Each structure stands twice: as C-alpha cells, then as structure tokens.
Structure 1
Amino acid sequence: MRNRSMNMNLEQLDTPAAIVDTGKMQRNIDAMQARMNALGVSFRPHVKTTKCVDVVRAQIAAGAQGITVSTLKEAEEFFAAGITDILYAVGMAPAKLPRAMALKQQGCDLKIIADNAAAASAIVDFCRAANDTFDVWLEVDTDGHRSGLAPEDDALLAIGRILHEGGIEVGGVMTHAGSSYELNDSEALAALAEQERAGCVRAAERLRAAGIACRTVSVGSTPTALAAKHLEGVTEVRAGVYVFFDLVMANVGVCDSSDIALSVLTSVIGHQPDKGWVIVDAGWMAMSRDRGTSKQTRDYGYGLACALDGTPLEGCELAGANQEHGILAVTHADDLARRFPIGMKLRILPNHACATGAQYPEYHALMSDGSTEAWRRFHGW
C-alpha cells in the first residue's frame, strides 16, 4: 500500500480520498510538543485519531514519549513498528488479558487500566495463574464524562489495595476530561483543565498516603492540554485529535479551520439547481455519520466545503449525506453548473477527525510540492 500515490497530485487522485496536509500536521505536532515542554511534562499522544505509523513517527521525532492506544490492535501494530511504551487506555475486559500478556512477554512495555474491583480481581487472578504481572493504572473520573473513580471515592483505595496486595504494581492514575468538548470559552476550558489536574493529583496523593505506589499522574484531552495554566503534580499529558484538529475543535475554540490537517477529497457528480444543491461523491461513508457540531455554536452539517487549495467556500455546506452521495447546499445557487462543473474536485473538512479517518484504509499525505504519498491506516480491534 505504501507509496502507491507517490507523485500524484490532488487532481489525479480518485475520490473520495482522505487527505492529510503534512505541513499543517507538522505545525500542530510541533506546537503541542512545545507547549508540553514549556509546562514541564512528558507527552504521550493518543494515536486512535490517526492509527497511522507515519504520523506517530513524526510525533515521536518531535519529542513524544510513548503512546496511548484505544484498542489492542493498535498496541500490536505500533509495537510491531518498534514502539514499546504503550498505554492501553480502555478498561480491561478479562477475556483480553491473554492477548495483552502476549504483547508484554514479547517485550512491549504495556500499561493497562482498571476502575472497578471486578476487573482488578480478574487481573490479579490472571497474573497469578500466568506467573507474571502487569503495570496497572487506575482510571480517575474528574468530570463525570464517562468512566473512572472519583478522586475521593473509597473504592479508589479499595481497588488499589486489591492490586497491591495481589502483587500488582499500581503504576499510576489517569483521567480524561472529555466534557471539554462541550465547552467554547477559554476561561471555562482553563477551569476544567485545573479540575482535571487537581482531581488526578489528589487521587495519586491518596494512593501514596495509603502505601500504594503511584509514580505516574496522566491527564489530558486536546482542549485541556491547550488550556492548562500549569500542571503541578502531573507527570504526563495525553491528547490525540490535535494532530489533525477538526470542526468540533474549531468550535471549542482551540484551533482555527485553517489548522485542520485532514480533509476529504470529493468530486462533483451532479446538480439540483431548483434546490440549490451540488451533488458530490462523498456521502456518510466518506465523512462518517458524526454530527458533532450540531449542538455547538456553529453547525457545519457533515463538513465544511473548501476549494482544492483548502480555502473555505463561502455559502457552501455539506448539508446532507446519503451513503455515497453528499449534498452540498449553496446559498447563492445561480449558475451552479458553471461554478461547480461535473468532475470538479473539492475538499471537505470533517466534524470529527477520528470518525472520518476511520472510513479509510489509507491517507494520502499531501506534500509541500503538491505530490501525495499513501500512508497506511489500520482499523479493527
């Protein structure tokens, strides 16, 4: 798959196709790494957004220390590519423990997480039977968004003791302030970043005071990583979508649409002049069904339409999507056939980069000279 599109430009590529603007991507990587360096913490990017070795190598080259994954498939793929320091940041299902142990025994420095007594007990029992161990982190809930243990919850210490007394090292605590995606105010984002930091640090302090080792304090989301004023007590930050950004992040206020590195290349295939529609070949199979901007300050439909050079088109929105048909609603619908001729190529910026990227087996990396290179993207669990 690699290099199949070398030297092809955007006009020559078949559509729909996922395009990564490598210049924008590198600027995003460098800016986040510089911020983490200034805050004095390690950075462990979440690679679920890209699932692409080429992208992650650029993040590591910039200074990232380890990666975060959301599937064991990701862990296996990146370990095979030579990356060993991996946090699997999804609660461990007991049936997956043999697969995780196989990675560890091959030399992967794999960290797994738990947030309940049943999972912790299953890990202890499995490790005793395997005569081996895991580095287990406890997930902390600092904003009520999803999973985890409240910093002051008695269960935090009880689960820590199950692991500790079972011979399992509690290597750290981690949290994810996912509710940051619902904000759009810099002061509110900074306040949530502090809430995230303080809650996770407090959880670590309680564990240490109970005699349970907890060397790592890991926090992060793209908005809170960019909004944090300080990170006292934190050892590392995780963030993922920052590498590409997307329209949800633009609405949150942590990037501009000009920072978005991922787009979908599409072709005009028809017109409905009486409705003010241009039909393109990027439907929801190309863009995903994610409508993450629908509850935000600006609803972009299924994506923001841009010219081939990436310049947003005024008065154009991907307002509807069927499986393979995208409906581009045009405010000024005069002479659509002339303005949007059949075969014309456009680029659509996505609502959610993770969801849109997941529709494709590869990215077409757009280089500074206008050529493209195919970068493999893997998927599955």
Structure 2
Amino acid sequence: MTSLHSVETPAALIDVQRMQRNIERMQTRMDHLGVRFRPHVKTAKCPDVTRAQVAAGARGITVSTLKEAEQFFAAGITDILYAVGIAPDKLPRALALCQRGCDLTLIVDNIDAAHALNDFGKAHGATFEVWIEIDSDGHRAGIKPEDDALPEIAHALQKGGMTLGGVMTHAGSSYDHSTPDALRQIAEQERAAAVRAAQRLREAGLPCPAVSVGSTPTALSAEHLEGVTEVRAGVYVFFDLVMHNVGVCTLDDIALSVLTTVIGHQQEKGWAIVDAGWMAMSRDRGTQKQTHDFGFGQVCTDSGTVLEGYVLSGANQEHGIVSCRVDVDHDIRQRFPIGTRLRILPNHACATGAQHPEYKVLLSDDSIETRPRFYGW
C-alpha cells in the first residue's frame, strides 16, 4: 500500500474526505434552493474529481477551455457549457465536438461574435446552442442587463440559425468581499441581473430557458434564487486561502495542499528551506490584497494540522521559504529538521493544481492513490 511517506515531493495532495464534504455541502445547498448545479471543472481538471461531483447530483459541467470540453466528453460527460466567449478560430473545434455527440453550449457577449457564429454556421450547415453573457458587477466580460445590445444580439443569433438557449453571469467581484452581508448582497445583485436580462429577452418575444449564475461565494451566500435555473461554481471542491479570507470556508475545509520536504535552513533569518517553490505553488499571491496575507501558502504538518503563524513567506522556482509571520524563529532548525514533511495550503487552488501533472489522493484509510490531471487549451 502506498503511503504519504513514500510520496516524492513536491506533490499536489487531495484530502478526499475534505473534498467529499465540500461536494456534499454545495450540492445539498443547491438542492435546498431548488436549482440545478453545474460545477466548473477548471479547478481540478480531473475526471475522477468530476465523477464525484456528478455522483453527488451535479448535472452538466462548466469548462473554461475546449481541451477541458474534449477531455470530459471523452470521459463520458456530454452536457458541457464552454463559459468563455468563443473565438471565431475555435469554431471548427467546437463543431467537431458537437458532431461527435457533445451537447456543447457556447457564449457570446457582443454582436461581432454573434455574426461570426452565424457566418460559420451558414458556411458549415451548423447550429450551436448559444447563451448571452451578462455583466452583473463590472468584474470582467458580459453586457449589462439593460443594454440595447442584449436583444440585438439575441435577434441576430436567432435570425442566423443559432439556438438561443439563455443567459449566464459570473459575480467575480464576490472575491473582493469578506462579510456575510456583503456576500448576500452581491449574490442578490448577480441573481437580479441575470433574471432581468432573461425578462427583457422574453418581453421581446425571444426564448430564454436557461438563467445561469454562479461563483463559489455567491452560491454559498444566496438567500434565494427565484428565476434562476442553474448555478455554477468551481473552487468550492477544494477551497483555498482566498476563499478562507472571503469567509466561505475554514482552513480545515481546504482539500488541496502541496506536500513538501525541508531541505535546508537559514537559522539566523529564521528560515526553513523546502522543495516547493513557485513552480509547485504558483505565483498567485491572491491573499496579498486581503485582510490576512498568507504569503505563498499556509504551513501545516504532514497530517494536515495548521501550524499557526508559519507561512511560505517566499518562493523561488524550486525553493520555498518557511518562516514565522510575527517574529524570527531562531529555533527553526530544531522545529523543522531536515527531512520534515509539511503540507502547504494554497492561495488559489486552480493555479496551484495547474502546476502539477497528477494528484496524490489521500484516502480515508491513509493510503495514497494517483489521479491524473491535464493541462493546456
């Protein structure tokens, strides 16, 4: 039986009990709110993780790359939302997926993209289901619910032979909040924007069967989802330090960590050097702008117990620096001898997972199994 002590470091480690608890928490909440749940699989990029989400009750998935769509379709999942505005040069690849039986939905948020879809469809005898992306908070992409372009895009898609399937939005600005009241407000803002956009389309005599919203903070904070048909969320499956600072999970909920080994010391500086640098953790410093800065990650024992005050304070390509946040620990060499195994909780689970070709999955009996993940676009 493979054990944690035999795993070569650095390694991306999934605590399966924590992950399963996170999956069940989210699915139970969505069931209670009476909406379909479509997880975003970009966080793990791992079919085994997604199978656990589907087994809990998820219906369909969200992806951020066509490679994800291809990989998960090959793994047997057919209902896939590609939640990034479609670039015209990717349409042949999207069509190939549809022709193989994938129920692939595309999104647009401007009239030029709609025309490009229509032109491609006409040239290839193709029809895509298309949703219109709504801007609910000024965070990134999408069009405002009251924008005149909304019905214009919808009419253009319908006249061009596309199937107008609905609207979707993502309240990415929810990551900038950290109180229950603020999160409830942004969740309601997200819901209201999507429902209003759907209402405008229907008032114009256009179909809008799907009303899709979602981010991990809003999914876990919404008081009701009247008018919404489905919710999307991704990072909840692992959680991370950013989500901890937002206030939607505890440190003990974080299911992804990087297993690392102490390889040296700078005792006068209070440093322990480990073999997990930014190539293992990523360069993401998402907690830097939040109320609690965890450096490059929170340090835990190899059994997962949080070591309060100790963080991965610095990172080079293959070297990490473990130190105490509040004072120079001159006993660092005795505290973390050469060969000590530690777990580092990540700032951003998606970015940290992306540094690794596979996961080491810690099972309930403390045995380890290896699960593949994939890269690229």
- 2:60 is matched with 66
Q: Could you tell me which residue of structure 1 aligns to residue 5 of structure 2?
A: 11
Which amino acid is 2:188 matched to?
E
- Corresponding residue number in structure 2 for 1:335: 331
> Partner residue of 1:258?
252
User: Residue by residue, what CA displacement relative to the aligned partner does 1:292-329 show, whole Å, maximum 9, x if unpaired?
Assistant: 00000100000000001111112311110000000111
Which stretch shifts more, 46-55 or 309-318?
309-318
Equivalence for 1:4: none
Give the deviation of 1:130 after TM superposition.
1.0
Match of 1:369 among 362, 365, 370: 365
Q: The residue matched to 1:228 in structure 2 has which SS?
A: coil
For 2:342, the equivalent position in structure 1 comes to 346
Q: Point out where structure 1 has 5 or more consecutive residues left out of the alignment.
A: 1-6
Partner of 1:117: 111
Structure 1 outlier segments of 4+, above 3 Å:
none
Match of 2:134 in 1: 140
Match of residue 171 from structure 2: 177
| 1:191 corresponding residue in structure 2 | 185
Shift of 1:334: 3.4
Count, aligned residues: 375
Which runs of no fewer than 5 residues in structure 2 stay unpaired? none
Select 1:300's aligned residue among 284, 294, 297. Answer: 294
Of residues 83, 98, 103, the one that matches 1:89 is 83
Within 5 A, what are the aligned runs for 1:128-167?
128-167=122-161
Measure how far apart 1:332 and its partner are: 5.5
* Alignment map for 1:171-250 (pairs within 5 Å): 171-250=165-244
Q: Deviations over 1:55-113 (max 9, x none)?
A: 00000000000000000000000000000000000000000000000000100000000
Secondary structure in structure 2 of the residue aligned to 1:90: coil
After superposition, the C-alpha distances for 1:144-166 in whole angstroms (9 at most, x for unaligned) are: 00000100000011111110111
The alignment's TM-score, normalised by the length of structure 1, stands at 0.98
**Quick check: 1:315–1:332 contact (8 Å CA) kept in 2?**
no
1:356 aligns with 2:352: yes
Query: What amino acid does structure 2 have at the position aligned with 1:221?
Result: S
Q: Does 1:33 align with 2:27?
A: yes
Tell me, what secondary structure is at the counterpart of 2:144? coil
CA distance in 2, matches of 1:134, 1:154: 23
RMSD: 0.7
Matched, 1:268 2:268: no
DSSP-derived class of the 1:294 partner: helix
Cα distance per residue 1:329-353 (max 9 Å; x no partner): 1346233222211111000000000
- 8 Å CA contact retained: 2:269, 2:330: no
Q: CA deviation at 1:282?
A: 0.5
Q: What code does the residue aligned with 2:181 have? A: E
When normalised by structure 2's length, the TM-score is: 0.99
Partner residue of 2:48 out of 39, 54, 57: 54
Match of 1:101 in 2: 95
Match of 2:17?
Answer: 23
Counterpart pick for 1:80 among 74, 81, 87: 74
**Aligned-pair CA distance for 1:226:** 0.3
Structure 2 Cα separation of the partners of residues 299 and 8 of structure 1: 35
Tell me, in whole angstroms, the C-alpha distance in 2 between the residues paired with 1:30 and 1:163.
38
Tell me the SS of whatever aligns to 2:299. strand
Identity over aligned pairs, percent: 68
SS in 1 for 2:288: coil
Q: In structure 1, give the amino acid aligned to 2:185.
A: A
Q: Is the 8 A contact 2:133 2:141 kept in 1?
A: yes
Which amino acid is 1:108 matched to? C
Answer whether contact 1:220 1:239 (CA < 8 A) is retained: yes
